[in-house]
């Protein structure tokens, strides 16, 4: 198999602001901004790059692809994310697994769970 994931890209009405938010959350660096319509965040652990592209109107409803993030202290990480603009969506526990669903400032949902 020759395929590998190079980038996960989010649609956004303000890609620069959303790129900066995700860079803060994941310790990344904002790189190459193209005419304010595309922003790349690099130096993110586990993913080569995150991309943020300008769209006139985001797709309605829940995003079909989302990030699953891990943290050693989920409660502290969720508190930090919410304090910086994330929205708590739900908490789940099933079959011995638990995770928290949040949304970034543009409404893109993502999950935070405990390190395995």
- Specify the pLDDT at position 19: 92
Q: At residue 3, does pLDDT exceed 90?
A: no
Q: What is the pLDDT of residues 31-64, one digit of tens each?
A: 866 667 888 898 887 777 888 888 888 777 777 7
Q: At residue 26, does pLDDT exceed 70?
A: yes
* Helix (H), strand (E) counts: the chain: 2, 8
25 or 44, which is more confident: 25
- Specify the pLDDT at position 101: 93
DSSP 72: S
At residue 65, φ and ψ (nearest 5 deg) are -120, 140
> Based on the number of CB atoms within 10 Å of its own CB, is 50 exposed (0-12), middle (13-18) or buried (19 or more)?
buried
DSSP-derived 3-state class of residue 20:
helix
Question: pTM of the full predicted structure?
Answer: 0.81
């Amino acid at each position: 198999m020759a395929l590998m994931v190079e980038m996960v890209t989010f649609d956004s009405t303000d890609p620069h602001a959303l790129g900066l938010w995700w860079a803060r959350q994941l310790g990344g660096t904002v790189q190459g901004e193209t005419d304010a319509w595309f922003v790349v965040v690099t130096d993110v652990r586990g993913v080569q790059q995150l991309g943020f592209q300008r769209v006139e109107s985001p797709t309605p409803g829940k995003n079909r692809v989302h990030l699953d993030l891990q943290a050693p202290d989920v409660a502290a990480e969720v508190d930090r994310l919410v304090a910086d603009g994330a929205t708590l969506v739900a908490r789940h526990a099933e079959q011995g697994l638990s995770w928290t669903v949040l949304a970034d400032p543009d409404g893109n949902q993502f999950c935070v769970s405990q390190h395995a």
